[in-house]
Structure 1
Amino acid sequence: MTDTILVLTEDTLAAADVAHILSLHADETLRYRVLVPADTERNVLVSLVDQLSLGELREALDTVLGREPEKPEAVADAAEQLADSLAAFADAGVSASGTVVDDDPLPALRTALAEEGAREVVVVTYPHALEDTFHRDWASRAREDLHVPVLHLYSGTSELG
């Protein structure tokens, strides 16, 4: 039986992200399952601090004005991110499967671990100033809850979270 690596990402995986993920187990044949949450419930304060710390002024204004996507739009965005992420795995010569999940991905990770017995989780996100600092980010929560190895990569970089 082939081991599974769960990949949780908040955005489309870039080719560099996929390369980093695959390099973790370069000499093994593994299955990859990508989970992309449909972002429907953002914490305004957390989003605002993240956007301002990254210099994303237009996004910060949208956050303050409450311009969050409706559920159908959020699900469609997540489905597109998933399709593009699976294509990035295919471009790297590796087949991957995936699912769009609810806004809070921890229940979906729990279910996937129970169903597939995945041996580890790789979380790919952008830096989040407040959540990363106070260990409330997805990776920290997954480490506490799931009791499997969890690696946190920052999207588009080789930096670890």
Structure 2
Amino acid sequence: MIQVLFVCLGNICRSPMAEAVFRHQVKQANLESVIKVDSAGTGDWHIGHPPHQGTRDILDLYHIDHHGLRARQVQAADFVNATYIIAMDDSNVRNLAAFAPDPVEGEQRSSIHKLLDFAPNRMIKDVPDPYYTGNFQEVFEMVEESCERLLAYILEKEQQ
């Protein structure tokens, strides 16, 4: 089973949006038995909360299911369980280091990437946080495009 974990700061805007969009794309590709999708935050402020209303509104607009999503914090086990950890920005990548357990010889470790690494034509390399900017539509467009390319990357890399 391939496991993809999307990570942002609070796990209420960007990463749950990416989780829902990517899960939708995985379902459309009939790959639910092959790819598991989750999200988490590096902060603990919103644990147990549903996605931000702006995230829910944009997902509803595009008929993408978000029901049952609840914020959680990254855990050490995520670095072993997830095949791919996809961060929204450089700050998330740096913050992930605080959660990473010491490597164990022979143990599989997650591959860490930034989401916009999969959108090479974009001028920016970090997904802006709509919690502060309110630009949920722009973030959705970045997430949707990047998730499509991420799925293609995973399928090619994992030879599915």
Same-fold status (TM-score > 0.5): no
What TM-score results when the alignment is normalised by the length of structure 2?
0.41
Which gives a bigger RCO, structure 1 or 2 (Cα 8 Å, sep 6+)?
1
Instruction: Tell me the TM-score normalised to structure 1 length.
Output: 0.40
Structure in which a larger fraction of residues adopt helix: 1
Larger Rg: 1
